Amino acid sequence: MLGRKDYTQKELDDATRAVRERIDGYDGLVAAVRASGDAGAQAALEAFEPALLNSLVLDLDRRFVHRVRMVSGTDGNPLNEVELLVESLMNNDGVLRGNTVVKYVPEESVTQLKPGDRVVLTRAQFERLAKAFLAEIEARFR
């Protein structure tokens, strides 16, 4: 597929809904595990959460993967932060690395991760990142 300079409102709405559905589904699982009082289930859920959230970053990126650089820019905006996270998850054993194109500044990023950090997102980081990413898609590609 060729690079994309724009996305439809439906694509943006579908992505926003998908993020919300997955988080709501996870919340249901968390509530059920907590209600069970099962310490083993709680420990398993805590171990599962970072893998789930990292997968959701991959899912979020996939919907808009063909975005063109001339629109997404080279600054450390949330679009490019997600790009770096995905590249690091897929090709660098989950350790954040930069590249020669994106001017990533950890202190200005959504996640505050630094190159060399393992990508293990918290729920709060993921939710902030998804919100910022979708807002940036809307601002730059709509």
* pLDDT surpassing 90 at residue 1: no
Please tell me the pTM assigned to this model: 0.94
Length of the chain: 142
Q: What are phi and psi of 98, to 5 degrees?
A: -85, -170
What per-residue confidence (pLDDT) applies to 2?
Answer: 86
d(CA 101, CA 86): 15
SS3 79: helix
User: Per-residue pLDDT tens for 30-74?
Assistant: 999 999 999 999 999 999 999 999 999 999 999 999 999 999 999
d(CA 3, CA 41): 43
What per-residue confidence (pLDDT) applies to 96?
Answer: 98
Task: Please classify residue 30 by burial: count the beta carbons closer than 10 Å to its beta carbon, then call 0-12 exposed, 13-18 middle and 19+ buried.
Answer: middle
Report the chain's mean pLDDT, rounded to a whole number. 97
What is the percentage of the chain residues whose pLDDT exceeds 70? 100
More confident residue, 140 or 142: 140
Mean pLDDT of 119-124: 96
What per-residue confidence (pLDDT) applies to 101?
Answer: 97
